[in-house]
Amino acid sequence: MPRFAANLSLLYAHLPFLERIKAAKEDGFEAIECQFPYQENSGAALNEITHLMTQLELPMVLHNLRAGDFAKGDRGLACDPTRVEEFRRGIPDAVNHAQHLGVKQLNCLAGILPEGIGRNQAQQIFVENLTYAAEELKKSNIKLLIEPINTFDMPGFFLSSSQHALETIMAVQSNNLYLQYDAYHAHRMGEDILRIEELMPFIEHIQIADHPGRHEPGTGEINYPDFFMLLDDLGYEGWVGCEYKELHQANFLKA
């Protein structure tokens, strides 16, 4: 059975961020992850988060690079040719957070395709930004990940398929760029999550949620029992992030 990490951006959403960490420990999760650990998002200072994680022996295994202002509609900056400087300025801060929190991999959100920008131009900027970020993160021994996100939940998101992600990884030609495979997003885009053998050499992190509703496995139509067995058969040793909104309980393994 894979190792599961609680995603604190969706799980325990009714609690303050520090209380979410405690709840994840109480529910038996072995690790945590979050979308954005920055104080304006979490409401908790970096030192407070680090201290509690150490106290509870609960490591954080993933968070995102800065992705703009979500309240204003930003969903990442990496494909936007007008915001290259802003994207690159955010990298040192993300690395600083990752180093304090002990995080060894950072996810880069591609962003919404900007109005008036063609896909070829956006792809060129995306590749250039990822090339830059991959090398900057490598200096701190941190892996860079990219994540396809479905265009039903996030209309206009630039990176929405595993195939596009692989093409991008090949174009960047860095040994420090990997795939974050979210089975929920892949399923929503019509991909068969039980046919991921060719993706496995590129996958460094996996996330899950069921459909419909984006709740815990077992509440929807996705065949997670077979998916977890497949991960074991393929020798996957990374973490599986539980990035869902709990319907019945946070840790579906207790069901």
* Mean local confidence (pLDDT), 104-123: 98
d(CA 188, CA 170) in angstroms, rounded, equals: 24
253 — pLDDT class (breaks 50, 70, 90): confident
Structure tokens at 218: 């077992």
Identify the active-site residue in 33, 204, 216, 243. Answer: 243
Name the pTM for this structure: 0.96
* Mean local confidence (pLDDT), 75-89: 98
d(CA 50, CA 240) in angstroms, rounded, equals: 21
Identify the active-site residue in 147, 191, 204, 246. Answer: 147
d(CA 55, CA 252) in angstroms, rounded, equals: 25
Which candidate, 64, 84, 90, places its Cα nearest to that of 75?
A: 64
pLDDT in tens, 183-235: 999 999 999 999 999 999 999 999 999 999 999 999 999 999 999 999 999 99
Q: In the predicted model, what is the mean pLDDT of the chain?
A: 96
CB 103 within 8 A of CB 97: yes
Residue listed under structure tokens 């407070």: 48
- The CATH topology of domain 3-254 is TIM Barrel (3.20.20)
Confirm whether 147 is a catalytic residue.
yes
Residues ≥6 apart with Cβ < 8 Å to 173: 131
Exposed (0-12), middle (13-18) or buried (19+): which is 13, by Cβ within 10 Å?
exposed
CB 31 within 8 A of CB 238: no
Distance from the first to the final alpha carbon of the chain: 15
Confirm whether 191 is a catalytic residue.
no
Helix axes 119-138, 84-101, angle to 10 degrees: 30
* DSSP-derived 3-state class of residue 110: strand
255 — pLDDT class (breaks 50, 70, 90): low
